[in-house]
Structure 1
Amino acid sequence: MKLVERDTELSVLEGMLDACAAGRGGAALVSGAVGGGKTALLRAFRERAAPAGAVWLQATATAADKDVPLRVVGQLLRTAGSPGADGEPAVWPLTSPVAGGVPVRGADGAVPAEVVADVFPRLCGILFARARKRPVVVCVDDVHLADAYSVECLLHVVRRLDVSRILVVLGESSGSEWDDSRTRRELLRRPVCRFLHVGALPRDGIAAMLADGRKGRRSAPPVSEFHRLSGGSPLLMRALLDDYADADRAGGAELVPGEAYERAVALCLNRSDRLTRSTAWVLAVLGPRGERAEPAELLGVPRAAGERSLRALHDMGLLAAGRFRHEAGRTAVLRRVEPPRSPRLEARVARVLYEYGASSTVLARHLVAAENVDAPWVLPALLEAAEAALARNEVGRALDCLRVARDSCADERQVLRVRIALVRAGWRVDPSAAVRYLPALTDAALAGRLTPRDMKALIGHLLWFGRADEALEVLRVVEGLGEREGLEEKEELGEVAEGAVAPGRWGVGGAGERQVVESARLWFAYGYPGVAARCGAAVAPGPYGGVGAGGRIAGLVAECGTQQRALALMASVLDQGAAGDAVVRAERILQETRPEDRTPAAGLAALVALIVADGLPEASRWCDILLAEARERRAPMWQSLFATAKAYTEIRLGELAAAEESAHTALTVVPPEGWGAAVAAPVAALLYAKAAMGRLDEAAAHLRIPVPDAAFRTPGGLLYLWARGHYHFAAGRPYAALEDFHRCGDLMARWRLDLSALVPWRSDAAQVYVSLGDDRRARSLLEEELTRPGPRPPWTRGVALRVLAALAERADRPRLLAEALDILQRSGHRLELAYAMAELSYSYWDRNEDGRARVAARKAQQLMRECGIKAPVLKASPVGAASACPPERPERPGAGRSATGLSGAELRVAALAARGYTNRQIAGALFITISTVEQHLTRAYRKLGVQRRTDLATRLNLDAEEGTGAAGCGDGLSRDCLRAG
């Protein structure tokens, strides 16, 4: 783009060059604002000077070179050509004054005499020697940034220009500290020096630039608009033309400063001095409030310096009447210019912003970076900003605000408020960081120095870390405060209506305070049911709608928030089992709540209701939604909680690989030490999934994750015992498995939380008794499970029927299994469906229906593969001999349970042993443990009256020498499969 409106300045410079060629040297100081076009003017003058045959020596000073002695002079000499050529005195490289031990500046700030006496004359010598042949132009741009040695050297040359052919042209940016320097004043006093000011472009200049830049376009906004936004700055004008070109290509017709304009603003400021940048930053931060502010006072500089920096910003075209010409300019300063690192300045800005009524979020940005501000408004502003940051999912910013607030506290009550806020915010990222605050907060709560809402938050954190007894004491304090405050208010207001409750001194009276208390009670009733049982009817769970916790919450549902409604629904499901409309109600709660209003407690309570009520597809879908929201909020603890819920949903659906991944995610995003007593839940999910897939070594490794004793006072502890029981059973330790399952039953009975939908411990224990041959105990548990009163999910009946089929007569097994299959298929429990299908294949095999056995075996194998089980593998919940394929058919039809008195499981193991298979091969083929094989063989020896393996074939009417293979089901069990097992 061509140079416009600079003809006068060019003519002056050309005249000085002509005088120089005639032997009258001179100097010119070209001054202009940053981005005002002085560099372009110097470049145009160089092009005009080239035909005159002048030697052009060029240098450009930078802020980085300001403290490097003679850096600018060195640049000039490099452009002068080879030193010593044509008989000229050698002056380059110059001796470094620092290397020679010469001080950088003298005591009075002047250049040391050693440099003046040695270096300066040598430079003058080479310049004057060059000037004897041709005119020499010494051009230094941005001279205000040059090092002091070079500036003094240039001034030394200017003093000797009267009779010479040397022209010194210096370019400076106006509005810097250089304006008041001694060197500049002396330079301007020299008779040979001319001062040229490159001002802002007038309207005609803007019109010329617009006409040149508009070529190829049909129209453009008025010249006045470009002139107003650019302030006459050529640099900003070019940026506006670029932005308009982009808008024109996009179909827009308006002039809107964009990316190019912002880059140009940032370039102007980055080329300015520190004070000018700081002034621009202060004005950008204050915004419209800055009109009445005094930047010099804020920056702590003399008024003259502040006025100079303001003038520089006006000359650049950024400001008009003390304000940014366009919001894009202010945005560019805030986004692209590094703020001054001055805690004192931040504190001053914060005070001014507070006086002008800025929001707490704006104030906090400066208070966090400021030195300590001793003012009563600081703490409330920081606390409010922290809450706002949490609402925007900016946990890091919230913690920064709270840490500064902690240092601003004036009394103990304020310290407690900040600590509660730190615990609440830090829990999202690292719950373990909250532990150190709990003792002091608990003492304060017991002394009545916390509000009921803060106490409720404290109760949740105490329960999280297993401190249930301390949490109970805090809850009693909350209840006592509520009752006392209610009575006091009644007496003061003269209320006569029985049961009316007036607002308390905390400002949380009435329904709001009751919600706080009831919500805390529910955490006890269903989070620590053992502790709740000790607390009496006030906290212990009861029938929903009755006198228990669920009943009390039900009366408040209409006036409650999402969390209370979700907790009420969870209480209903856990009190009544599978309530008919629980799935619909849970989805309604989640659907009617905006994402920003959802809390982890509400989401988890709704998910628990969905899982217990067997709404697995809905639970899976909402787990994905809540997980995505937690990731978006950058809340690791929320992600881990919802990942754990997803893992249990996937376990119920038979998606073992996915469940393993979800549980692993939960324990990776938040390490086990951050889980407190709740760690039992994700560890249990991971343990069960790996045991069910037969990866027992990996499962055993998870048993080494510390689970605190307090976890076994929570439902998470039940899940851990359940998962560990299945691991023990799969690993061949049936009695250890029975101990875990029966401990589940004892705890659930003691807690009045005996829900098969939560942990089907009776069916699990019955499976173990079946494997041990204790049919009586197995049958007793299963009959109790099937005849228990109250609603429950159908899948629990399906599992019980599957196990019961192993104890039934041969003729009844297909009927029981068919019913179990129908229930499990409709409920979507694919893993249990696979086990039942495997049992059905054996049932057909026992009835000599080999074709149907093969079909069932293939279906069982397919289901197991879909669940993530790769045969041969040990089952997590073996029932009898639940291989995906029955063994080889005995040759004589007389063999069977009726002839030998063996159970189906014992008969299958004995038949394979009679054909010569080892215990390990039998275990691998039948999906059971080696220990279970040994137990079945022991009972078979006793019933058949034999002592050796070789006698089994005779007693079972088998020909032990035949059928060394195994072809019972075609694609199922083969010799290679047995050998691999």
Structure 2
Amino acid sequence: MKLVERDTELSVLEGLLDACAAGRGGAVVVGGAVGSGKTALLRAFQERAAPTGALWLQATAAAAEREVPLRAAGQLLRTAELAGAGAEPVVWLPPPAGGGGAPVRAAAGAIPAEVAVNVVPRVCGILFAQARKRPVVVCIDDVHQVDAYSLECVLYVVRRLAVSRILVVLGESSGTAWEDSPARRELLRGPACRFLHVGPLPRDGVVAMLAAGQKGRRSAPPVPEFHRLSGGSPLLMEALLDDYADAERAGGAGPVPGEAYERAVAQCLSRSDDVTRRTAWLLAVLGERAAHGGPAELLGVSRQAGERALRSLHDMGLLADGRFRHEAGRTAVLRRAEPPRSARLEARVAQVLYERGAPATALARHLVAAETVDAPWALPVLLEAAEAALARDEVGTALDCLRVARDSCADEQQLLEVRLALVRAGWRVDPSAAVRHLSALTDAAPAGRLTTRAMKELVGHLLWFGRADDALEVLRIVEEKDGEEEGGEEDGAGVGLESVRFWFAYGYPGLAGKYRAEVAAGPYRGTAAGARTPGLTPEQDTQQRALALMASVLDQRVTGDVTGRAERILQETRPEDRTPAAGLAALVALIVADGLPEAARWCEILLAEAREHRTPMWQSLFASAKAFIEIRLGELAAAEESAHTALTVVPPEGWGAAVAAPVAALLYTKAATGRLDEAVAHLKVPVPDAAFRTPAGLLYLWARGHYQLAAGRPYAALEDFHRCGDLMARWRLDLSGLVPWRTDAAQVHVALGDDRRARDLLEEELVRTGHRPLWTRGVALRVLASLAEHADRPRLLGEAMDLLQRGGHRLELAYAMAELSYSYWDVNDDSRARIAARKAQQLMRECGIKAPVLKASPVGAASACPPERSGAGCAGRPPAELSGAELRVATLAARGYTNRQIAAALFITISTVEQHLTRAYRKLGVQRRTDLATRLEPDTVEDTGLDGCGDGARRDCLRAG
């Protein structure tokens, strides 16, 4: 720190040094606030004392070494460079009574008599011996932290200054308990001792510091603002100058406290005593509610100590009129200062803030730190703060508030309210933590100790954890109240009951099937077409329309554009909504209605919002839905990652009965990619029996059936698929878009040679009424082709591939392409067979199946590549009949390039392209562009993907030519 405006203080110190050299020893206490420049003043004095030949002995005390005997005295003697002097003080200390450890004080502020008589004179004798040779300056900085033994040595020397050439210079920080100590009073009462106060910089001092740092600046800094913000503290001034330089480089103007200022504030507090630090923290917390006399009372210290701490903070330059000079000072204290770990203090602060009208969010922070508060106002405040935290997606804060509320609550009725809030908040993070509260809440419902709203909410949580019978009993109690809703529940209360019935009806369709008709005839019927319901909040209206759409799809009474209505609902779904019900319902409707690309896009959006709002359960739910979308699109690697995310963000024990869904996704992907050993591990994940009363259980049975099929156990697979069919028929949820059990079972019957049963299932699937997804019809046609005559198979497989390609179902398309390869091979069309096989392999690799073996599909052969046929000629004409130009054009056309792209790549006109294609069609005997690939050599045409135009197309031409 550069010393400015301290000439007067230096003159006083130089005068004392001159007197010392003349034989009149003295002492001076240099006091000032932390950061006032005391240490810089002492260093400047040391530089001026060096030419006089005086021996300078330096020591700096520290709080961490306060209990080490003669620590400061040892520093002084080591500075004197006397042989053995640094070790002698420790050797001279007598052993403590009882042995071991350092000597203890005889009383507060005193040292053992034996040390005072034998040790202190010998230590000080070294200093007096040096003073007989030349003047000696004994300088101890931060003397308020000095150990008692060294302090006794200082007092011993000061009492004998009149007959020595020793100048004792002691630096102290103001605002500490040292100011009231007997040792300090004795020092200042001595006739040879003076007190030198280092105060804040005046305006001229601030100008001098600004002038020293003015070099290279574009404009003169505003002196009054710097003086006001720093309070005259040199330490804060230097920090403000650093921040000012950074702001000026960034194009800002004027002194704005920043990072350097915050660090300086933290440094000031770290060098202050505990009372001062706690006072600063208290004032920062109270903000505008702070009062001049408040800190001492709240901190539980004497009024004198509180006033001293306030004065110290003013002298440091942090406060003005009891408030922080700048909001950055308050922010620095809150951000960088360690808060006091005192539950009693936190409780007192909370009480004061409550009396002064602080909001619940401000109070809750102190109530949580206080752990338990008996005040009657504490519980409502904690509940309000928890609700506010949940609205901000700060679930951890909400749970902290609720746990303290639970521990502080003596009233059983209020405790039930707190338990329900804990379940509500905990579900968003890890529902397993909420299980312990369900039994108490369930027992309270028949006794009438829960409100209607609380019971509706309880039903949902009981359903989640598979306690459907308990949920049904609670729902009956709600219905028996017959509209006895409490005040404040009128708006939307009926919708809340219908929502509970809805999730019961479709979540546990076998148990609560009676609610299906009620739901269909209730408020959801009018919103099935997307109409808005007046009198509802936007969130309630969006949720009602989403549930109505999902119900209409599951009940196969949907009309109109499902995809458009679902996307409109998803656009209105906000991440701050209490539950993801509307988003999940719209996604289910999209998936079952085969709107998979749109569902995948919205899953990405909802997942990103859930991550941003730090809601793990929502992330897991949307990740699980995304996994099944990716499975149907053939993106097996992505599906595995999504399912893994779902079970990692929230562990299996937190999923309740719904755990069957993400486990099913992992089980299917491992089986489909041939990793059966890894699939076995997922079979060991506990799935509760209640899961098989829900649609999630259907997905698990479906995935397990595919695993059994891949593992070579067709009868076990058949049992799982038919069990799916039985449950779906019983629940009146026989939807191919939910679980395509008929086509899966038909595949197994084909593998077992039961063609009649397979054909019956497939024909039943193809003639079903209602919405039929493209992929289920495509799969049914693919399997049916294996039962048809050889000549009819390519036609059926072509229809299947057309449906699967339109729906984007690449894995099923790969299976169909492999079947097409074998159908060509069966009719001796080897060229087409090889082309189809190559395409099937490519599609499988894109889906994540590295080996060409179709382990997940027993239809037809077990490989995507038919065996080579010895001596068989190609069924197609050799492309040698085409000219070079015709071959190049036909090759690009077969690969999917348009006439315009071909013309650009070959530098010919579009008319020329058309002429070449016409001749190629005639020579190869084809009529459509799509047939070209089957008539060219497979090495010439490798894929049907459109790679682009330009250089890529030209490379294709070179390979073809």
TM-score, reference length from structure 1: 0.86
Amino acid at match of 1:95: W
Call closer, same or farther: CA 1:579–1:703 in 2, change over 3 Å: farther
**Contact persistence 2:347–2:366 (CA under 8 A):** yes
Secondary structure of residue in 2 paired with 1:595: coil
In the alignment, which residue of structure 2 is the partner of 1:854? 834
Q: What whole-Å deviation, never above 9, does each CA across 1:584-628 have from its counterpart, x for those lacking one?
A: 222222222333237332322222122112121121122222222
CA distance in 2, matches of 1:557, 1:855: 62
How far is 1:175 from its partner? 1.0
Amino acid at match of 1:837: M
CA distance in 2, matches of 1:222, 1:597: 49
Q: 1:507 aligns with which of 451, 469, 488?
A: 488
Structure 2 residues without counterparts, runs of 5 or longer: 874-936, 942-961
Call closer, same or farther: CA 1:596–1:866 in 2, change over 3 Å: same
In the alignment, which residue of structure 1 is the partner of 2:360? 360
Call closer, same or farther: CA 1:55–1:388 in 2, change over 3 Å: same
In the alignment, which residue of structure 1 is the partner of 2:315? 315
CA distance in 2, matches of 1:642, 1:793: 22
Secondary structure of residue in 1 paired with 2:621: helix
In the alignment, which residue of structure 2 is the partner of 1:590? 570
CA distance in 1, matches of 2:269, 2:46: 27
**Contact persistence 1:570–1:605 (CA under 8 A):** yes
In the alignment, which residue of structure 1 is the partner of 2:93? 96
**Contact persistence 1:91–1:122 (CA under 8 A):** no
In the alignment, which residue of structure 1 is the partner of 2:410? 410
The answer to whether 1:775 aligns with 2:772 is: no
Secondary structure of residue in 1 paired with 2:429: coil
Q: What whole-Å deviation, never above 9, does each CA across 1:700-754 have from its counterpart, x for those lacking one?
A: 2321222111111100011111111111122222211111111111111111111
CA distance in 2, matches of 1:771, 1:624: 38
How far is 1:697 from its partner? 2.1
Q: 1:650 aligns with which of 613, 630, 633?
A: 630
Call closer, same or farther: CA 1:77–1:724 in 2, change over 3 Å: same
Call closer, same or farther: CA 1:764–1:567 in 2, change over 3 Å: same
How far is 1:430 from its partner? 2.1
CA distance in 1, matches of 2:786, 2:664: 28
Call closer, same or farther: CA 1:465–1:594 in 2, change over 3 Å: closer
Call closer, same or farther: CA 1:108–1:879 in 2, change over 3 Å: closer
In the alignment, which residue of structure 2 is the partner of 1:168? 168
In the alignment, which residue of structure 2 is the partner of 1:735? 715
The answer to whether 1:869 aligns with 2:849 is: yes
In the alignment, which residue of structure 2 is the partner of 1:959? none
Call closer, same or farther: CA 1:871–1:970 in 2, change over 3 Å: farther
The answer to whether 1:222 aligns with 2:222 is: yes
Q: 1:798 aligns with which of 770, 775, 778?
A: 778
In the alignment, which residue of structure 1 is the partner of 2:511? 531
Secondary structure of residue in 2 paired with 1:416: helix
CA distance in 2, matches of 1:401, 1:293: 30
CA distance in 2, matches of 1:552, 1:420: 33
**Contact persistence 1:71–1:147 (CA under 8 A):** yes
Secondary structure of residue in 1 paired with 2:279: helix
Deviates more, 1:747-756 or 1:595-604: 595-604
Matches within 5 A, 1:635-674: 635-674=615-654
Secondary structure of residue in 1 paired with 2:445: helix
The answer to whether 1:607 aligns with 2:596 is: no
In the alignment, which residue of structure 1 is the partner of 2:691? 711
How far is 1:684 from its partner? 0.8
CA distance in 2, matches of 1:557, 1:658: 42
Q: What whole-Å deviation, never above 9, does each CA across 1:825-868 have from its counterpart, x for those lacking one?
A: 01000011011111111222222222212211111111111111
How far is 1:580 from its partner? 4.1
Amino acid at match of 1:507: G
In the alignment, which residue of structure 2 is the partner of 1:845? 825
In the alignment, which residue of structure 2 is the partner of 1:123? 123
The answer to whether 1:69 aligns with 2:69 is: yes
Matches within 5 A, 1:283-432: 283-291=283-291, 294-370=294-370, 372-432=372-432
In the alignment, which residue of structure 1 is the partner of 2:556? 576
TM-score, reference length from structure 2: 0.87
In the alignment, which residue of structure 2 is the partner of 1:276? 276
**Contact persistence 1:688–1:726 (CA under 8 A):** yes
**Contact persistence 1:647–1:658 (CA under 8 A):** yes
How big is the alpha-carbon RMSD for the aligned residues of Structure 1 and Structure 2? 2.4
Matched pairs, number: 873
CA distance in 2, matches of 1:672, 1:839: 39
In the alignment, which residue of structure 1 is the partner of 2:145? 145
Secondary structure of residue in 1 paired with 2:856: coil
CA distance in 2, matches of 1:773, 1:90: 99
Secondary structure of residue in 2 paired with 1:782: helix
CA distance in 2, matches of 1:863, 1:116: 93
In the alignment, which residue of structure 1 is the partner of 2:959? none
Q: What whole-Å deviation, never above 9, does each CA across 1:876-935 have from its counterpart, x for those lacking one?
A: 132132531223448799xxxxxxxxxxxxxxxxxxxxxxxxxxxxxxxxxxxxxxxxxx
How far is 1:558 from its partner? 6.2
CA distance in 2, matches of 1:69, 1:721: 77
The answer to whether 1:724 aligns with 2:711 is: no
How far is 1:260 from its partner? 0.9
Secondary structure of residue in 1 paired with 2:194: strand
In the alignment, which residue of structure 1 is the partner of 2:252? 252
Call closer, same or farther: CA 1:708–1:557 in 2, change over 3 Å: farther
Call closer, same or farther: CA 1:108–1:749 in 2, change over 3 Å: closer
Call closer, same or farther: CA 1:891–1:252 in 2, change over 3 Å: closer
CA distance in 2, matches of 1:170, 1:892: 108
CA distance in 2, matches of 1:242, 1:830: 61
The answer to whether 1:81 aligns with 2:81 is: yes
**Contact persistence 1:515–1:556 (CA under 8 A):** no
How far is 1:670 from its partner? 2.2
Amino acid at match of 2:300: G
How far is 1:696 from its partner? 1.7
Matches within 5 A, 1:786-825: 786-825=766-805
Secondary structure of residue in 1 paired with 2:140: strand
The answer to whether 1:235 aligns with 2:240 is: no
Matches within 5 A, 1:918-957: none
How far is 1:819 from its partner? 0.9
How far is 1:506 from its partner? 3.8
**Contact persistence 1:542–1:551 (CA under 8 A):** no
CA distance in 1, matches of 2:675, 2:112: 81
**Contact persistence 1:854–1:970 (CA under 8 A):** no
**Contact persistence 1:344–1:371 (CA under 8 A):** no
The answer to whether 1:474 aligns with 2:474 is: yes
In the alignment, which residue of structure 2 is the partner of 1:916? none
CA distance in 2, matches of 1:293, 1:714: 64
CA distance in 2, matches of 1:571, 1:537: 11
CA distance in 1, matches of 2:416, 2:613: 26
In the alignment, which residue of structure 2 is the partner of 1:953? none
Q: 2:661 aligns with which of 656, 681, 687?
A: 681
Deviates more, 1:790-799 or 1:714-723: 790-799
**Contact persistence 2:782–2:797 (CA under 8 A):** yes
In the alignment, which residue of structure 1 is the partner of 2:906? none
Matches within 5 A, 1:205-216: 205-216=205-216
**Contact persistence 1:838–1:857 (CA under 8 A):** yes
CA distance in 2, matches of 1:797, 1:659: 23
**Contact persistence 1:406–1:415 (CA under 8 A):** yes
How far is 1:320 from its partner? 0.6
Structure 1 residues without counterparts, runs of 5 or longer: 486-503, 894-967, 973-981
How far is 1:969 from its partner? 9.5
How far is 1:153 from its partner? 1.2
In the alignment, which residue of structure 2 is the partner of 1:784? 764
How far is 1:571 from its partner? 1.5
Amino acid at match of 2:177: E
